[in-house]
Structure 1
Amino acid sequence: MRRLRTLTGAAVLTVPLALAVFGPMLASEPGDRVFPFSGDGVLGTDFVGRDVGQQVLLGGRSVVLVAVGATLLAYLIGVPAGLLAASSRRRWVDELLMRPLDLTLAVPSLLLLILLAATAPPGPLTLVGIVALIGLPEIARITRAAALPLAHGPAMEAMRLYRETWWRRGPGYVGTGIRRVLLADAGVRFIGAVYLVATASFLGIGVAPDAADWAVMVDRNRTGLFLQPWAVAVPAALIICLAVGLNLVTDRMLISGAVPSPSTPPAPATTEDREPVSGPLLHVQDLTATTVDRTLVDGVSVSLQAGEILAVIGASGSGKTTTARALLGEVTPGVTLTGTVTLAGRPVTTATPPVPGTAGYVPQQPAAALHPVRRIGAVLHEIARHHAPGDSRIAHRRAVTAVLDRVSLPADRRFLRRFPHQLSGGQQQRLVIAHALLAHAVLLIADEPTTGQDALTRNDVARELTKLAREGIAVVLLSHDLHLVRAVADQILVLHRGAAVEHGRAAEVLAAPRQRHTRELLAPPPARPVAAVGEDRPLLRVTGLSAVHRDGGRRREVIREIDLAVAAGRCLAVVGRSGSGKTTLARCVAGLHPARTGQVALDGHHLAAHLDSRQPHELGAVQYVFQDARASFNPYRTVLDQTAGPARRLRNATPEQARRTALHLLERVGLAEHTVTQRPDRLSGGELHRAALARALASEPRVLICDETTAGLDSVTQHGILTLLDDLRRSLALTLIVISHDRDVVAQLADQIVVLDNGAVVDRGPAELLLTHAHHPLTSALLHTDPATAAAPSNP
């Protein structure tokens, strides 16, 4: 069907384009004019007695070529202007480019045509310039809006950190990312240019009002429509063919150029008037997911009663997320599902997803589920109205306030007016959970709901999941957080390479796992190794560091007067609640966020506050592993190519040397060559976490900043990553700064611990002391609290 539509569009588009190019060559010498709107000739005559067929052959070149030229000129100027405004980190550049264009947009296009007609000399070149000038501001604004999130996102920051060329960052990444938006706009823009050309002709710009021009023919011959319809119908049909054909062709280009991405499940609707379900709420039988050359899920069967919590555990890439999406009738392109899924008494397939209001979904990447340009309060209130349409506005506000309080988020007006990008990763995760809670679904699928969360918030999540189960909601929990699994699970399903290797009651599986793979996943973390060998003299020193975030027109101080010192071969762990400033501190050290005050020194040498001002060897010496690994990769290039980039750019390695280095590091973090030669969308979240670590190590850094590097990884993979980091700092005297909410990570790696609260250091000291005998209440709560102490299984 798509191929037929594309061929149809190409054929429809070819006819007017061919007439525009070759029509004048086929036209004969103009004959004498006869009676207007007569039947002389094949298509009759027009309003002044000319042969309509001859006018059709002659009338396409002016309108099509002028419209094409004007559209191309507008894009050639508007797209670079929009890209420059979006990518510039200087506010005045954006203002200088956009404000004049905004003034142009404020003038109606017809009025602008009249003004220019009075001052510009007539002619086709003038017409091209005028039509381009009218379309240019909108193209620049659309380009800027589409490019803005790409130009300032984690992937762009990673490319700047690894000193990628402007060509890869601009046309290669941002340009590729916005091409679909520009393609969608181009068809409409071209047809608008056609009609602007016709309008301009009537004002004396370009072609004369009685010249051979399709658009002019439609307007001038409409008075004789019933006398000679061909004089209007033929040129109108050719213009319609231009519009329809161009849009069909661009639609095909949009579909073929799309990068697969996890889709968002349908939003659940109100839970009123649901029929009670007898038997299991969720029943899965022989669920299998396959691609052309790989089995992702292999014959999984499970049943879940209302009010039960099923924990699905397994190594990264074992099929957990694919299984969860299958429960919602969703599948990645190229994957085929077989088997049966029944939810609330109804079958679920890719063609028949769950009934709206049945299932809620909390994705692993919270930012992907949040609307980037809508304030969080507006979205929450909209969800509340959608699920309780009969309630008053006051009741909706109370529901939103209650849900935000349940997930430990503020409900004041200032917070509700923020955008998702102004929240920390943990706050984004809790906001997505709040969306699901407002939906009142009977099944909640939570994909790593505690990733990037501090211990106190993990306790809150555990209590909330347990409370939901007690209220009769079934929960499918995909998690590597074994503390959370032990605290809340009623059943445990263990996946290994897509197959269910163990399934049973949680108490039985946890107490006596039967399979070797299950025992490896549930094994306790290894004992803390002896202290790493390192110097006492600080390699990295941070003095008086302060930083702010822009909150609309205001500046909000995020970290205040922080002093740190870490010696070579040592590990400093920075802990604190979500939103306490940990990530901002790490970004300031890496140069990704400019500090307002203070200095960062490496081995006595002061580093520039902004990474663009740092030398390549300085960038290679201080590397940063992003918290959102998927967002930090360019979706249009292979993982191997991106991992090799730092070695080429920061160490001047040859392409072959960089490739060998990348393959070696990727193998050390457990990724095979056939996996990393694919684009990032083909890898799981855990695999991308490991690839991000390998990419940072490729420049042979002296200081490595790990922002939740092991979040979302199973215990086996996490242990391998931590062991690798520990080996590297011992053998290479690598200095580590670890941002983590995981006590086990801190206990295994850290020599020193710094505790942040509201942007300030509230506690610090040796890891052995703070892990066992912390004096500050926040330190004790963060490092000593286990979800198992805060919640019990819902159905013991």
Structure 2
Amino acid sequence: MRRLRTLTGALLLAVPLALAVFGPLLAGEAGDRTFPFSGDGPLGTDFVGRDVGQQVLLGGRSVVVVAVCATLLAYLVGVPVGLLAAATRRRWVDELLMRPLDLMLAVPSLLLLILLAATAPPGPLTLVGIVALIGLPEIARITRAAALPLAHGTAMEAMRLYRETWWRRGPGYIGTGIRRILLADAGVRFIGAIYLVATASFLGIGVAPDAADWAVMVDRNRTGLVLQPWAVAVPAALIICLAVGLNLVTDRMLVTPAVPSPAPPPVPATTGDRPHAQNALLQVRELTALAVDRTLVDGVSFSLPAGEILAVIGASGSGKTTTARALLGEVAPGVTLTGSITLAGQPVTTVSPPRPGTVGYVPQQPGTALNPVRRIGAVLHEIARHQAPEDSRSAHRSAVTATLEHVSLPTDRRFLRRFPHQLSGGQQQRLVIAHALLAHAVLLIADEPTTGQDAITRNAVARELTKLARDGIAVILLSHDLHLVRAVADQILVLHRGAAVESGPATEVLAVPQHRHTRQLLATPPAGPPAVAGEDRPLLRVTGLSAAHRDGGRHRDVLRDVSLSVSAGQCLAVVGRSGSGKTTLARCIAGLHPARTGQVILAEHRLAAQLDQRQPHELGAVQYVFQDARASFNPYRPVLDQIAGPARRLRYAAPDQARHTALHLLERVGLAEHTVIQRPDRLSGGELHRAALARALASEPRVLICDETTAGLDSVTRHGILTLLDELRRTLGLTVVMISHDRDVVAHLADHIVVLDDGTVVDSGPADALLNHAHHPLTRALLHIHPATAAAPSNP
């Protein structure tokens, strides 16, 4: 069907274009004029007695050429203006560019045409300029809106941090990211330009009012539509063919074809080895996901009754997320599903996904599930109204408030008026959980729901998942957080390279794991090495640092007079609740967020507050590993190229040497070359975490800032990353600033700990003292408890 639409579109587009190009060659000499709207000739005559057939052959070139030139000119000017307005970090530049365009948009197109008709000389060039001028403000606006999230997103920050060239950042990244939107707009813009030609010609601009032009023919011959319909119908049909054909062709260019999944086979008879199969809410049989070059999921089967929690564990890339997406009836492009999935007695396929509201999904990257242009309170209230339309507004508000309290989020009006980008990573994660709770789904799929969250919030999530199960909701938990798995799981399914290697009741699998891979995943991490003795003078010092976030027209303080120091070869762990300012502190040190007051000093040299003001050797000396690894990579370039980039631009290494360095680092973090020569979307979240670490190490930094670097990784991979970091800081004197909620990570690596609460330092000291003998209640709550055994303090 898609191919038929494409062929139809190409044919519809080819006919008018062929007439526009070759029509004047076939028209011949103009004949004598006869009576207007008569039946002379195959298509009759027009309003001045000319042969309509001949006018159709002559009239395509002018309208198509003018429309094409005007559209191209509008995009050649409007797109750069929109890109510049979106990419600038100076608000006055944006205002200077966009306010005059807004004034132009406020003037109706017809009035603008009349004003220009009175002042501009007639002619085709004038017509091209006028049509381009009318379309330019809208094109600039569309470009700016599409480019804004890319120009100020995590991937752009990473490219600035690694001194990526303007060509890679602008046309290479932003241009590629917005090309689909511009392509979709171009078809509509081109057709609009054709009709503007007719209006302008009627006003005496451009071609003559009686010229051979399809748009003019439609406009001038409509008075004789009843007498001679061909004079209007034929040129109108050709313009319609241009519009429909162009849109069909661009639609084909916009859509990435996905390999359809075959219809699932009938569900086989239930065997007796699964005690819950007869009454299972969810049944999965022989689920297989095949990509072009590998098997993502290999014959996985399981069942889950209502009211139980199934924990799916396994190394990064083992097929957990692919399995979860299959339960939603979704599949990545190029992946084929086989097997059967039945939810509440209904089959689930890519063609017939679960009914809306049946399944709640908490994704691994919470920002992807949140609408970036809507306030969080409006979305929450909309979900509440959708679930209970008969309830009052006060009941909806009560439901939203109760849900936010469940996930430890504020309920005040100021918080509800924020946008998702104004929340921390942990707050975004809890907000997505709140969406799922409000939806009252019968099945909840939680993909790493505690990634990047503090211990207090993880306890709350554990209690909430348990409560959901008690209320009769089936829960599938995809997690590397073994503390959470031990606290809530009723069943465990272990995946390894896409296959189920072990499954059973949680108590049995946790107590006596049978498969070697399961034993590796559940192994207790070894104790951390003894602290590294630092130099007398610290390598990195932060003094009196304060920072704020823009909240509407005001500034909201995030950090208040923070001071800390760390010596060469040591690891400083910064811990605190989600939203306490940890990530903002790390970004200020790296130059990604401007500090209002204070200094960042590296080896007695003061670093500029702004990233763009730092020299390449300063950028290479302080590197940052982003919390959202996937968002920090350019999705349009191979991962290997992006990892080799910092060595080329910050250390001025030759391309071959930079590639060799990248491959060596990738090998150290456990990634093979055949994996990283692909684009980021083909790698799992855990693989991208390791690739992000390798990229940061490529510039041979003196200070490495790791923002939840091990979040979402299995225990085996996490231990490998921590071991590598410890080896690097001991052999190379690498200083590590670790932002983490994971007590095991802090215990393994940290020499010193700083505890943040509401933007201020409330506790600090040697790691051993704070891990085992802390006096501050918040420190004890963050570092001394696990989900299975503790509750959050009432006033941390």
TM-score (norm 1): 0.96
Matched residue, 1:687? 687
Alignment of 1:427-576 (within 5 A): 427-576=427-576
Matched residue, 1:147? 147
SS class of match (1:487): helix
Matched residue, 2:111? 111
Aligned partners of 2:86 and 2:147 also within 8 Å: yes
Aligned partners of 1:501 and 1:515 also within 8 Å: yes
Distance 1:574 1:488 in 2: 28
Moved more, 731-740 or 495-504: 495-504
Gap runs ≥5 in structure 1: 261-276, 792-796
Distance 1:20 1:316 in 2: 57
CA offset digits 1:297-324 (Å, max 9, x no partner): 1111111111101000000000111111
Cα distance, 1:505 vs structure 2: 0.7
Cα distance, 1:328 vs structure 2: 1.6
Distance 1:474 1:7 in 2: 47
Distance 1:177 1:784 in 2: 45
Q: 1:776 to 1:701 in 2, by over 3 A?
A: same
Matched residue, 2:649? 649
Distance 1:359 1:384 in 2: 16
Distance 1:293 1:198 in 2: 53
Q: Give 1:320's aligned amino acid.
A: K
Q: Give 1:211's aligned amino acid.
A: A
CA offset digits 1:459-511 (Å, max 9, x no partner): 00000001101111110000000000000001111111111111111111111
SS class of match (2:624): strand
CA offset digits 1:750-789 (Å, max 9, x no partner): 0000000000000000000000011111111000111011
Cα distance, 1:44 vs structure 2: 1.4
Aligned partners of 1:573 and 1:750 also within 8 Å: yes
Q: 1:158 to 1:72 in 2, by over 3 A?
A: same
Matched residue, 2:70? 70
Distance 1:3 1:285 in 2: 33
Matched residue, 1:401? 401
Matched residue, 2:165? 165
Matched residue, 2:334? 334
Q: Give 1:490's aligned amino acid.
A: D
Distance 1:651 1:355 in 2: 54
Identity %: 86
SS class of match (1:390): coil
Distance 1:356 1:63 in 2: 47
SS class of match (2:241): helix
Distance 1:222 1:284 in 2: 63
CA offset digits 1:521-574 (Å, max 9, x no partner): 011111121222542321011111111100011100110111111100000000
Matched residue, 2:755? 755
Alignment of 1:207-286 (within 5 A): 207-256=207-256, 279-286=279-286
Q: Give 1:22's aligned amino acid.
A: F
Aligned partners of 2:259 and 2:333 also within 8 Å: no
Cα distance, 1:22 vs structure 2: 2.3
Q: 1:296 to 1:412 in 2, by over 3 A?
A: same
Distance 2:460 2:649 in 1: 44
Distance 1:759 1:605 in 2: 25
Cα distance, 1:286 vs structure 2: 1.5
Q: Give 1:776's aligned amino acid.
A: H
Cα distance, 1:292 vs structure 2: 2.8
Matched residue, 1:774? 774
Matched residue, 2:305? 305
CA offset digits 1:600-653 (Å, max 9, x no partner): 111011111011011101000000000000000000000001010101110111
Q: Give 1:479's aligned amino acid.
A: S
Distance 1:2 1:346 in 2: 28
SS class of match (2:374): coil
Aligned partners of 2:487 and 2:787 also within 8 Å: yes
Cα distance, 1:259 vs structure 2: 14
Distance 2:336 2:52 in 1: 56
Moved more, 490-499 or 5-14: 5-14
Aligned partners of 2:289 and 2:336 also within 8 Å: yes
CA offset digits 1:321-370 (Å, max 9, x no partner): 11111112211121111222111111211222112332111110100000
Alignment of 1:288-437 (within 5 A): 288-437=288-437
Matched residue, 1:270? none
Cα distance, 1:89 vs structure 2: 0.2
Matched residue, 1:697? 697
Alignment root-mean-square deviation, CA: 1.4
Q: Give 1:194's aligned amino acid.
A: I
Aligned partners of 2:259 and 2:336 also within 8 Å: no
Gap runs ≥5 in structure 2: 261-276, 792-796
Matched residue, 2:123? 123
Q: Give 1:752's aligned amino acid.
A: H
Moved more, 586-595 or 782-791: 782-791
Distance 1:530 1:681 in 2: 39
Distance 2:97 2:178 in 1: 19
Matched residue, 2:271? none
SS class of match (2:22): helix
Aligned partners of 1:463 and 1:790 also within 8 Å: no
Cα distance, 1:138 vs structure 2: 0.4
Matched residue, 1:28? 28
SS class of match (2:255): helix
Distance 1:627 1:545 in 2: 21
Cα distance, 1:512 vs structure 2: 0.9
Matched residue, 2:44? 44
SS class of match (2:788): helix
Cα distance, 1:140 vs structure 2: 0.3
Cα distance, 1:454 vs structure 2: 0.3
Distance 2:610 2:219 in 1: 59
CA offset digits 1:65-88 (Å, max 9, x no partner): 111111111100000000000000
Q: 1:317 to 1:543 in 2, by over 3 A?
A: same
Q: Give 2:383's aligned amino acid.
A: I
CA offset digits 1:265-306 (Å, max 9, x no partner): xxxxxxxxxxxx971111112211112331111111111111
Aligned partners of 2:259 and 2:335 also within 8 Å: no
TM-score (norm 2): 0.96
Matched residue, 1:674? 674
Distance 2:776 2:617 in 1: 39
Aligned partners of 1:462 and 1:790 also within 8 Å: no
CA offset digits 1:7-28 (Å, max 9, x no partner): 2212211221222222222222
Aligned partners of 1:548 and 1:596 also within 8 Å: yes
Matched residue, 2:266? none
Distance 2:482 2:522 in 1: 7
Matched residue, 1:96? 96
SS class of match (2:446): strand
Q: 1:433 to 1:298 in 2, by over 3 A?
A: same
Aligned partners of 1:85 and 1:98 also within 8 Å: yes
Cα distance, 1:3 vs structure 2: 2.4
Aligned partners of 2:258 and 2:333 also within 8 Å: no
Matched residue, 2:273? none
CA offset digits 1:203-254 (Å, max 9, x no partner): 1111121111111111211222232221111101110111011111111111
Distance 2:704 2:692 in 1: 12
Matched residue, 2:580? 580
Aligned partners of 1:33 and 1:50 also within 8 Å: yes
Distance 1:399 1:744 in 2: 36
Distance 2:313 2:641 in 1: 31
Matched residue, 1:659? 659
CA offset digits 1:369-416 (Å, max 9, x no partner): 000111111111111111111111111111111101100111111111
SS class of match (1:300): strand
Moved more, 706-715 or 236-245: 236-245
Q: Give 2:286's aligned amino acid.
A: D
SS class of match (2:476): strand
Distance 2:155 2:207 in 1: 49
Cα distance, 1:42 vs structure 2: 2.1
CA offset digits 1:563-598 (Å, max 9, x no partner): 111100000000000000000000000000011111
